[in-house]
Every structure is written in structure tokens, then in C-alpha cells.
């Protein structure tokens, strides 16, 4: 294992890693997906991989056993081949599925396909008996708007065992070098789990030339005994780096910085440290990139870690006019149970978050590195910038990782500072940036926080907008100083503190009365309702007593009816106490009015400054400075 305890590059990394990160000789056929029949852990249901339609069958990771009379299909999330995506974005014209079999009697196998509406049809069939291998092929010429392929096995006269199932396509002339980069900050155990998952799959690992672990914390991953064991498995492929905490932007960029310096035709796969990793997804993203018609950002879809059957969204885009990310791309599935519903339509992404995303080094050579935003919107801005330069993003179905469910994270957090500041930077760089419209929208949002008695959240948003107007200088240190300051500044607001539900300061359990929200106000009258709630909060025309409000009921138009509210934290691990504070509301209202006047006057100037500074901020020289090189 190569290790550095400073911000400098790893000594000797140019030896094994540089020699490995080169183009490789292509095989006769390229494996673009393997047939797996169970997940990487028992937390994941096997029906995401293969479904027993009738009879009795036993599923192992890469072996399927059917008893006489059983039928099993791979028309599942991980079992489907995304035909539409291959037809649209790659040079592949035909796909072959092959497998080994041990059949004690006649067995039927069918290759089936679907269209964008989910209607299925038979593409090819075979009857097999005894031991051997079987292949079925189909052309990729009728899937442009949507559709997938899968296999059905029916053990008619006797038992059947299937193994080594692979989906293969004609290989390109050469195979691109590939590396994985994981950044972590004091999640040593989570990081070790992810690296271990990578190391546990020798077939997938054989297509990966380097694994970078960028450790930005003080609870070092390298101190874990299991990491030492994993390092022995990875050998010269593992590069372990330590550096100051520069957030996700700085950690992921370090991987891009290192790999793109070695080979401008490499695939770099960025991965979060705290995901539940499906190694097969890495193989699929990497293989897909090798057959795309042009360098393409290839992302994995996010599945919910606490609800592993559920898909977060098929593909995402951003609405810069509203500073909103995570918008569902047209045709997307969202928060669906993958055991019940399937994604049949091809969905085109605007960007892919970096819980798992492959970025070709050609993109770095063309548009530079990410911005030193520290946290939030760094991946979104980079994806938008890449598309503006002609590089598309494909969020590939069947390539998925499990990530912490977003709705379990409370919005009243220091992260709001980076979210608003960085969304404004992205909008300034990549949109017309209508200051008047944005000021109205942001004023409305801050006012909603104020009437909800979320004074700390309103303050956090105000600070983010103020710092945006300071210009590109706020990004000079990569975000380290402001991270410390915004956390400290939020301490003055009592409602930002989470309390145990049985020890709420100044409130007895018997004082709590649960209050559920009624119907949401008419959308056309929300501004009128907001003005009314603000006036009532101002004059104290609020309901006395203590309202106990579940997280899902904590809408601004409901919470603002009360003088004191105990709100369940979104994490479900505690509560926040919100109390009406007229003086704080007065202070923040005045500050907001002053700020929005300044925003309307200075936004266009700030926009020019960020656009002028982009090449410098995204340069290797700037990041080398931040890395202390």
C-alpha cells in the first residue's frame, strides 16, 4: 500500500499506477453485465436480481438452481439488460447472452425484450439438455425510446443449474484504463466496507487499474485492521492519500487531479464512502463507457439504503431559475418500489450526483477540474458545465448503489449555507441569472423559515447569499474557514439544536399535544397565506401551548400557527424546539430586505466575476495550491 501523511502526492505512485493506467488489449467479446442472482448482502432482496415465477429454485450470487417444474426470470432491476441505453449511446448493434448449464432433462430458455411501454416479446429461444454452454443473441434496433432484455429459464423435465451468465458485445479496439476514487471524512468504518466490497470481486477488479482512497479526516481509514487486509488484496492498485478537509469537492477532485495527469483517456469512477456498494455496477458503468460513441459521463442510480427496494430517481436535472437540483428528468420513476414497478422509458439525465459516477479524463482535459465549492452542487455544476461543452451524462439503469435516504436528513443544518451559495454560483455560471426573480424567490423562502420559527436556517441562508455576493474570493481556501464559522454562528439559535425526546428543555411530556396539518393552502394563494402568517407571528396572534408536530407535518403554513412547536427531526432521532422570537425575526427581516436590495444591484457584477474566475478556479494550478503542492 502506498500512503502519504501529507498533502503531497504519494511517493512512488508513478511506478505501478502509471504503468497500469494505460490502454489495454481488448478481448474478443466485452462483458457488459453479468447475471447475478442475489445481492451483495442479505439486506437486499434477491428479487432485485432474479425472480422465481413458479416452483422451487435456489439463488446464489452467480449460480441459479431450478428444481423440476420451476421457472425463473431476470426481468428485474439488476437482471435486465438496458437495451435502449446501448442503442442510443453506444456503437453496439447486437448483444449476446451466454451461460453454462447442467440440465437433467429438457429445459427451455427464452431471451425476451420490452419496449418503452413495457410490452414484452420473445427475441430468441433455445431448448437445452445436459451439460454445456448456450448463447442467445438479439439486435439492438428497436429500443430507441425505451426497452430492456432479460432471460427466462424453465426446468421442464428435470432440474437445471445455470452459472457464468454474461451479456457480451463486440469489443472496441482497445480497453480504456480505469480507476476508482473514494473520498472520506471520519467515516473510516464505512469507507473500509466500500473498499472491501470492491476488493471482494476479482473479476470486476481485474478491469480496474487503481483505487484511490482520499482521507480528509483525523480518524484515519488506514488505522483499521481490516483496511490493512484489504490493502494486501489490492496490492499496487491501492493509493491511499491524506489531505486537509476540502469537502466532497476537494476529495473527489483529488482523484480526478491524479488520474487525468497520468492518462487523458482514462475512466475515473467516483464513489461515496458510505454507500452500500454493488461491485457489478462498477463493471457495468466501466464497460458501457468503453463502447460509447463519444466520451460520456456514466452514473449509477441511487437506491435507498434504509429501503433497499426503492429507487430514488431514474435520472436528475437542475432548474437553475429556481436554484433547485434533484428535479426528476422527463419520464423518470421516483421513489418507486423496484419489486413492483420497472423503468421502461429511456430517461436522459442533466447530471449525475457523485455517489457513483464515471468521468472520462477527456472531460477534465476539455473543461478543467471541479470548482472548490467544498460541499453541495459541485457535482451538479460540473455536470452542467460538461454538457455545455458537449459531453452528455447517462444515468444507467441496472447500475445502482444504495445511499442514505435523503428524506432522513433534516434541512435545518449548516449544509444549507453551501447549498444556497453554491446553487447561486452554478446559476451565475450557467443561466441568464434573473436577479429580480431570484430575489423574490429567496425572500419568499427566507420568510417561510422565519414564520416557521427556523431563525437559524433563515440566518444560514442569508449568510450563503451574502458570501455569494463577495465574489470568487470566498472559494480561495476551498471552504475550510467558512465551514467552521457557519457552524459556530448557528449556535446562537436554539432551534438548531436537537434534543432527546424525553429531555426537552423547559417542556414537560404532558405539555405536548400532537397537532397534524390540515389541507395545504391553494397554490395560487400561498403568498397571501404567507403574508398573513407573518403578520400573525409579528403581533403574537398565535396559538399558545406546545404543539407537537411530526416531521412530515412540519409545513411552514402549519408550524407558523403556533407560539411554540416541538418538531420531530427528520432523522427521527430527536426533536427541535421552535419558539416565537419577535426580536430575532425583526433583525433577520431587516437584514433580508437590505440583502435583497444589494442582490438586485450587485448580482450581475458577481456573475461576471465568477465567469471570469472559472478557468482559474478549476485549474490544476489552483487545486495544486489547495493540496499544498
Tens of pLDDT, residues 205-261: 999 999 999 999 999 999 999 999 999 999 999 999 999 999 999 999 999 999 999
Question: Where residue 26 falls among pLDDT bands split at 50, 70, 90?
Answer: very high
**Picking from 159-163, 267-271, 437-441, 519-523, which range would have the lowest pLDDT averaged per residue?**
519-523
CA angle, residues 295, 270, 380, in degrees to nearest 5: 75
Q: For residue 10, is pLDDT > 50?
A: no
pLDDT of residue 105: 87
Q: For residue 347, is pLDDT > 80?
A: yes
Task: Write 508-516 long-range contacts (CB < 8 A, 24+).
Answer: 511/545, 511/546, 512/546, 512/548, 512/566, 513/545, 513/546, 513/547, 513/548, 514/547, 514/548, 514/549, 514/550, 515/547, 515/548, 515/549, 515/553, 515/558, 515/562, 516/549, 516/550, 516/553
Q: Which three cell numbers stand for residue 564?
A: 411554540
**Picking from 47-51, 468-472, 516-520, which range would have the lowest pLDDT averaged per residue?**
516-520
Positive or negative, the CA dihedral 34, 38, 42, 45 is positive
Closest CA to 74 of 105, 34, 40: 34
Strand 562-568 to strand 543-549: parallel, antiparallel, or no bridges (unpaired)? Answer: parallel
Please give the backbone phi and psi of residue 258, each rounded to the nearest 5 degrees, phi first: -70, -50
Question: Where residue 493 falls among pLDDT bands split at 50, 70, 90?
Answer: very high
Q: For residue 19, is pLDDT > 90?
A: no
Q: Which residues contact 223 (CB under 8 A, 6 or more apart)?
A: 188
**Alpha-carbon span 465 to 291, nearest angstrom:** 43
Strand 174-175 to strand 238-242: parallel, antiparallel, or no bridges (unpaired)? Answer: unpaired
**Alpha-carbon span 514 to 549, nearest angstrom:** 6
**Alpha-carbon span 277 to 267, nearest angstrom:** 18
pLDDT of residue 5: 37
Closest CA to 343 of 146, 581, 607: 146
Closest CA to 350 of 382, 302, 323: 382
**Picking from 54-68, 214-228, 512-526, 594-608, which range would have the lowest pLDDT averaged per residue?**
512-526
Q: Is 197 helix (H, G, I), strand (E, B) or coil?
A: helix
Q: Is 56 helix (H, G, I), strand (E, B) or coil?
A: coil
Top pLDDT among 20 and 167 is at 167
Which residues in 156-187 are b (16+ Cβ under 10 Å) and which e?
Answer: beebbbbeebbbbbebeeebbbbbbbbbbbbb
Closest CA to 371 of 618, 607, 610: 618
Average pLDDT, the chain: 95
**pLDDT exceeding 90 applies to what percent of the chain?**
93
Closest CA to 107 of 74, 135, 80, 130: 130
**pLDDT exceeding 70 applies to what percent of the chain?**
98
Top pLDDT among 74 and 7 is at 74
Question: Where residue 488 falls among pLDDT bands split at 50, 70, 90?
Answer: very high
Q: For residue 2, is pLDDT > 80?
A: no
Mean pLDDT of 416-430: 98
Q: Which residues contact 553 (CB under 8 A, 6 or more apart)?
A: 515, 516, 517
| 61 close to 35: Cβ distance less than 8 angstroms | no
**Picking from 97-101, 365-369, 421-425, 538-542, which range would have the lowest pLDDT averaged per residue?**
538-542
Question: Where residue 14 falls among pLDDT bands split at 50, 70, 90?
Answer: low
Residue 164: strand pairing partners: none
pLDDT of residue 152: 98
pLDDT of residue 13: 53
| 312 close to 304: Cβ distance less than 8 angstroms | yes
Q: For residue 4, is pLDDT > 90?
A: no
Tens of pLDDT, residues 263-294: 999 999 999 999 999 999 999 999 999 999 99
pLDDT of residue 623: 97
| 382 close to 352: Cβ distance less than 8 angstroms | no
Closest CA to 420 of 377, 451, 383: 377
Residue 128: strand pairing partners: 107
**Alpha-carbon span 198 to 195, nearest angstrom:** 5
Amino acid at each position: 500500500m502506498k500512503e502519504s501523511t501529507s498533502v503531497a502526492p504519494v511517493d512512488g505512485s508513478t511506478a505501478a499506477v502509471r504503468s497500469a493506467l494505460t490502454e489495454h488489449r481488448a478481448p474478443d467479446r466485452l462483458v457488459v453485465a453479468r447475471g447475478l442472482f442475489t445481492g451483495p448482502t442479505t439486506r437486499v432482496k434477491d428479487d432485485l436480481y432474479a425472480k422465481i415465477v413458479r416452483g422451487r429454485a435456489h439463488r446464489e450470487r452467480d449460480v441459479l438452481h431450478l428444481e423440476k417444474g420451476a421457472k425463473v426470470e431476470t426481468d428485474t432491476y439488476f437482471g435486465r439488460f438496458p437495451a435502449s441505453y446501448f442503442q442510443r449511446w453506444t456503437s453496439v448493434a447486437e448483444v449476446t447472452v451466454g451461460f453454462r448449464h447442467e440440465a437433467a432433462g429438457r429445459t427451455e430458455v427464452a431471451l425476451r425484450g420490452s419496449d418503452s411501454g413495457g410490452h414484452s416479446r420473445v427475441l430468441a429461444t433455445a431448448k437445452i439438455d445436459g451439460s454445456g454452454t448456450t448463447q442467445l443473441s438479439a439486435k439492438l434496433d428497436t429500443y430507441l425510446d425505451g426497452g430492456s432484455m432479460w432471460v427466462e429459464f424453465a426446468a421442464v423435465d428435470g432440474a437445471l443449474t445455470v452459472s457464468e451468465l454474461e451479456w457480451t458485445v463486440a469489443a472496441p479496439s482497445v480497453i480504456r484504463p480505469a480507476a476508482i476514487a473514494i473520498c472520506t471524512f471520519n467515516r473510516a468504518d464505512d469507507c473500509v466496507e466500500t473498499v472491501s466490497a470492491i476488493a471482494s470481486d476479482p473479476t470486476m477488479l481485474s478491469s480496474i487499474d487503481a483505487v484511490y482512497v482520499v482521507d480528509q479526516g483525523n480518524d484515519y481509514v488506514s488505522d483499521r485492521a481490516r483496511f490493512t487486509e484489504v490493502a494486501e488484496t489490492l496490492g499496487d492498485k491501492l493509493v491511499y492519500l491524506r489531505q486537509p478537509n476540502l469537502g466532497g469537492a476537494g476529495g473527489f477532485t483529488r482523484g480526478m487531479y491524479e488520474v487525468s495527469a497520468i492518462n487523458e483517456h482514462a475512466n475515473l469512477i467516483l464513489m461515496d464512502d458510505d454507500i452500500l456498494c454493488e461491485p457489478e455496477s462498477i463493471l457495468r458503468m466501466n464497460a458501457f463507457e468503453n463502447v460509447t460513441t463519444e466520451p460520456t459521463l456514466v452514473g449509477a442510480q441511487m437506491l435507498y439504503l434504509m429501503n433497499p427496494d426503492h429507487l430514488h430517481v431514474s435520472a436528475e436535472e437542475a432548474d437553475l431559475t429556481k436554484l433547485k437540483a434533484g428535479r426528476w428528468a422527463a419520464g423518470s420513476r421516483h421513489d418507486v418500489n423496484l419489486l413492483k414497478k420497472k423503468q421502461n422509458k429511456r430517461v436522459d439525465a442533466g447530471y449525475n450526483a457523485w455517489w457513483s459516477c464515471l468521468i472520462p479524463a477527456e472531460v477534465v482535459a476539455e473543461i478543467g477540474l471541479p470548482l472548490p465549492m467544498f460541499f453541495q452542487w459541485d457535482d451538479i455544476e460540473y455536470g452542467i458545465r460538461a454538457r455545455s461543452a458537449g459531453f452528455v451524462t447517462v444515468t444507467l439503469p441496472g447500475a445502482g448503489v444504495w445511499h442514505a435516504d435523503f428524506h432522513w436528513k433534516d434541512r435545518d443544518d449548516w449544509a444549507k449555507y453551501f447549498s444556497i451559495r453554491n446553487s447561486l454560483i452554478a446559476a451565475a455560471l450557467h443561466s441568464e441569472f434573473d436577479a429580480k426573480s431570484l430575489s423574490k424567490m429567496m425572500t419568499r423562502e427566507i420568510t417561510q423559515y422565519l414564520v416557521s420559527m427556523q431563525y437559524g436556517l433563515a440566518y444560514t441562508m442569508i449568510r450563503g447569499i451574502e458570501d455569494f455576493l463577495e465574489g470568487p474570493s470566498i472559494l480561495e481556501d476551498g471552504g475550510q474557514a467558512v465551514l467552521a464559522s457557519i457552524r459556530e454562528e448557528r449556535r446562537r439559535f436554539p432551534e438548531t439544536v436537537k434534543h432527546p425526546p424525553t429531555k426537552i428543555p423547559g417542556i414537560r411530556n404532558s405539555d405536548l399535544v400532537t397537532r397534524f396539518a390540515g389541507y395545504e393552502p391553494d397554490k395560487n394563494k400561498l403568498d397571501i397565506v404567507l403574508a398573513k402568517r407573518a403578520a400573525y407571528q409579528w403581533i403574537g396572534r398565535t396559538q399558545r401551548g406546545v404543539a407537537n408536530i411530526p416531521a412530515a407535518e412540519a409545513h411552514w403554513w402549519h408550524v407558523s400557527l403556533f407560539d411554540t412547536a416541538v418538531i420531530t427531526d427528520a432523522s427521527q432521532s430527536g426533536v427541535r424546539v421552535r419558539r416565537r422570537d419577535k426580536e430575532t425575526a425583526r433583525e433577520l427581516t431587516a437584514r433580508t430586505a437590505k440583502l435583497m436590495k444589494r442582490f438586485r444591484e450587485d448580482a450581475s457584477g458577481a456573475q461576471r466575476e465568477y465567469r471570469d474566475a472559472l478557468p482559474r478556479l478549476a485549474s490544476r494550478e489552483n487545486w495544486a495550491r489547495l493540496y499544498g503542492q
